[in-house]
Structure 1
Amino acid sequence: MSKRERIMIITDSVSMPRQNVKYEDTWIYLFKNRFMEFDVIDRPARGSTSMRLVQEGGGGFDLLELYTPDRVILQQGLAECAPRLFKKNGFEKKFINTYLPAKIRSDYIKAVKAKRGRNPEFTDVNHIQFRYNVSNFAERCAKLNVKLAIIKILKPTDLYLSKSPFIKQNIDLYNSIYHEISERYDNVTIIDPVKPDIDVNLICLDELHINSEGHKLYFKEVENYFKKVK
């Protein structure tokens, strides 16, 4: 009996079902239904970041070495590149969470939003760590002869930009790192579901997540990738 091609899918909440998007509407479901000959391992996680690639299962083994996939589809990046109000492990965040009463803490956060806003340098995973994490994963894939397809980080909607004006520059930076890694490693391919002529506002149900039409776009681009490599 011939071995089925094994596909590992690593995603964040962009690719997951949610209110108004059933599981059957997601690009992952559409992919599984279209390519039933594949052995698909689906590893989604809300708030997923590239830290999973080097930590999950001890050194990231739960997302690669322990499953020995033939190909990996990676879709994440938005959670880690998003500008935040406070530095993740900074004194200010620790102080307000530890010492301020709930009402004062809430008022303080509102004031920071109004006066200072989200800082592009305050991210859950900074771009240097992000580059290391993805490069490390790509290199491990290469050593195992695993092909890695990376879905670019979703462009920001107008709603997202109104809340976080610096989000686009961070998305562009982190996507440029994806491209840099794809140029360095022959086993890495970039998938871009949202072409320049597509209005991202029409394929999203909020500032962060794609709707059923968006999932169809993602599926179509992933399908095209597999048509080329089969």
Structure 2
Amino acid sequence: MRVLCVGDSLGLPRKGCPYEKTWFFKLAKKYPNIEFVDYFKRGLVLTETVNLYNMYYTDYKPDIVIIQTGICDCAPRYLNSNKLFWKLLLNLLGHLGFESYFWKIIKFIFSRRENCVYTKVDVFSQLYRNLIEKFIANGVKKIIVVKIGHAAESVAANNCYFNSNVDKYNNIINKIAVEKKDHIITIDPLHNVHEDLFVDGYHCNSNGMEKVYHDLDGLEINNLV
């Protein structure tokens, strides 16, 4: 059996959460007879995930896929730095050594806005459904979705739309999960969370990663297909 794990920085090790404490490492260690393939990338958005499917994922031919992504799509921002204009400007300012000053000005003038996100709600819905259907068409038997996690108070207090955006985008995942109930299993280990699960109010420390692992392990992956 082969399990493909796809995610953003929430699945990656960092200070406060060594690699040996990540849910990926712990699952692979518990099930040595299952082949685990990982693709985790900081800043991974759904558009890139779909593109990666077109380029690489079909070649893995996994039986099970675990997806932990979405926060980079829905997090409220000061500006959409993925747009070409801002990308070019930030690149220029970076070369000139002025990027940090630029962000200080932006944060002084603007606030994070609910709809200033990398992936709009309707686009997220279309892309997510498209990705799921691609996996199913490629022979994936089960897709485990780790739903987008809530932020702790230290983050949510400074970004008032953060958790409401998380709920909005998770509702899309819930709807697709109902439509594809024979293939999708969802878990929500980081819902209504506390500071002791994170290193910075959002990225998991060892305790937070253990919580995700606990919910994944409870599915008994070796018996799903």
Normalised TM-score (structure 1): 0.85
Is the counterpart of residue 156 in structure 1 residue 151 in structure 2? yes
Partner Cα distance (1:108, 1:40) in 2? 42
Report the Cα offset of residue 8 of structure 1. 0.3
After superposition, the CA RMSD in angstroms is 2.3
Q: How does 1:58-137 map to 2 (within 5 A)?
A: 60-63=54-57, 65-87=58-80, 88-89=82-83, 91=85, 98=92, 102-103=97-98, 106-137=100-131
Partner Cα distance (1:168, 1:110) in 2? 24
Is the counterpart of residue 201 in structure 1 residue 195 in structure 2? yes
Report the Cα offset of residue 129 of structure 1. 2.0
Map Cα deviations across residues 86-111 of structure 1 (whole Å, 9 max, x no partner): 134275675576579755x6455334
Report the Cα offset of residue 112 of structure 1. 3.2
For residue 169 of structure 2, the aligned residue among 167, 174, 177 is: 174
Is the counterpart of residue 47 in structure 1 residue 67 in structure 2? no
Normalised TM-score (structure 2): 0.87
For residue 213 of structure 1, the aligned residue among 207, 212, 216 is: 207
1:19 counterpart residue number: 15
Unaligned runs of 5+ in 1: none
Secondary structure at 1:66 match in 2: helix
Q: Which runs of 4+ in 1 moved over 3 A?
A: 90-103, 105-109
Secondary structure at 2:77 match in 1: coil
Secondary structure at 2:66 match in 1: strand
In structure 2, the CA distance between the partners of 1:26 and 1:106, relative to structure 1 (3 Å rule), is closer
Unaligned runs of 5+ in 2: none
Map Cα deviations across residues 42-99 of structure 1 (whole Å, 9 max, x no partner): 111111121233212xx53413x11110000000111121111113427567557657
